[in-house]
Structure 1
Amino acid sequence: MYGFKGDFGKTNSKKELPESQRADAVSSMVYEANARLRDPVYGCAGAISQLQKQVGELQAQLAKAQAELVNMQCQQTNLITLICMEMSQQSSHQQQEPMFLQQHESYNMDTSCFLDENNLGASWEPLWT
C-alpha cells in the first residue's frame, strides 16, 4: 500500500496507487511543492493561469497570421485577374498572341490554389471558432 497522509496539504485518507503511477505522483507533488515555494499564494494555479494567458496570446497571433495569409492570397488572385484582363485586352486589340505569351510559350501558371474553395475555407475557419 502506498499512502499519503496530510503531506503537501493532501487529504488524510490513504490512497492506493498502482506502481506504474507512483513516479508520476511523486513528480507531481515535487512540482506542486516547488510551485508553492515560488508563489506561496497561487502555487500551481498561478503557473496554469500564466500558461493559459500565453495560449490565448498565441491563438490571437495565429488568427492574425491566418488573416494576413488570406489577404495575400486575395491580392495575388486579384493581380492574376488583372494580368489576364490586360492580356485579353491586348489580344483583342492586336488580333494576335500577346508578346508575353510569345516570349514565354512554355510558361504554365498554376492557379488551382485560388480556385480551391477548401484552401480559403480552411484559412477562415479558425478565425470564427
Structure 2
Amino acid sequence: MAYVAKCTSSPPTPTTLPNPPLSSSAAAATTNFVSPPTSQQSSTPVAVVLSPCAACKILRRRCIEKCVLAPYFPPTEPLKFTIAHRVFGASNIIKFLQELPECQRTDAVSSMVYEANARVRDPVYGSAGAICQLQTQVSELQAQLAKARAEVANMQQQQANLLALICMEMKQSAEPLWASHLADTTCFLDDATLSAPWEPLWT
C-alpha cells in the first residue's frame, strides 16, 4: 500500500531559477546584435584608403598620416626614392629632412636625387666628376671667347689702319693736282708785260 501511495502522488513541480543579471557590456552587445541598423548608421561615410607613398611602399611599411617622406616621394615616382635610398639610405634621408625647415626640404630632396643619379652613373667621382667636367667646358669656352674677342679687336685695328691709309693716299693724290694748278700761270699776265708793247704809244 505504501508503494501505491508513492506512485499515485503527484510529481514535484519544477522550480524556476531567476536569470542572472547581465553586465553592461553584455547588455550593450545583446542590444546591438538584436537591433537592426538605423538609417544614421548606414549613411556614415566610408573611410578612403589612400595609396602609400613610394618610400613606404618600397620599404614595405605602413604609411602614417604625417609621413616625412610622403610629400617628396609620391607613389607615382618610385624610381626617385629607389635611387636616393640606394645611395643614402632611408634613415639618413629621414634624419636629414627632419633637421631642415619645410621650406628647404624640396630643394634638399632634389639635390639628393641628383647626387644619387650622378653616383650611380659615376661610382668613383659622383657629382664631383660632373662638376669638374662642366668646369673644364667653361674654361674652354672662356678661352674661345677671349680668342674671338682678340680676333675682333685685331680686325677692328686693321680696318682702322686701312681707312687711315686710304685717306692718306687720297690726300696725296689730291696735292699734285692742286700744285699743278698753282704752277700753271700762263693764263695770268703780269701788268708789266701787258704795258710793255703800249709804252711807245704813250711816250
Asked whether the two chains share a fold, i.e. TM above 0.5, the reply is: yes
Alignment-derived partner of residue 147 in structure 2: 64
After the TM superposition, which residues 3-42 of structure 1 pair with which residues of structure 2 at under 5 Å, given as runs?
8=88, 16-42=99-125
Unaligned regions of 5+ residues in structure 1, if any?
97-129
Please state whether the residue corresponding to 1:42 is helix, strand or coil: coil
Q: Determine the C-alpha separation between the residues in 2 that align with 1:55 and 1:22.
A: 30
Q: For 1:55, give the aligned amino acid.
A: V
Q: Which deviations, in whole Å up to 9, do the C-alpha atoms of 1:41-80 show, x marking residues without a partner?
A: 0000000010010011001100110110011001100100
After the TM superposition, which residues 83-98 of structure 1 pair with which residues of structure 2 at under 5 Å, given as runs?
83-95=166-178
Alignment-derived partner of residue 82 in structure 1: 165
Q: For 1:83, give the aligned amino acid.
A: I
Identity %: 67
Indicate the larger mover: 40-49 or 17-26: 17-26
Q: For 2:143, give the aligned amino acid.
A: A
Larger Rg: 2
In terms of fraction of residues, the more helix-rich structure is 1
Q: For 1:95, give the aligned amino acid.
A: W
Q: Give the RMSD, CA atoms, in angstroms.
A: 2.7
Aligned residues, how many?
A: 93
- Is 1:51 matched up with 2:131? no
Unaligned regions of 5+ residues in structure 2, if any?
1-67, 70-86, 180-203
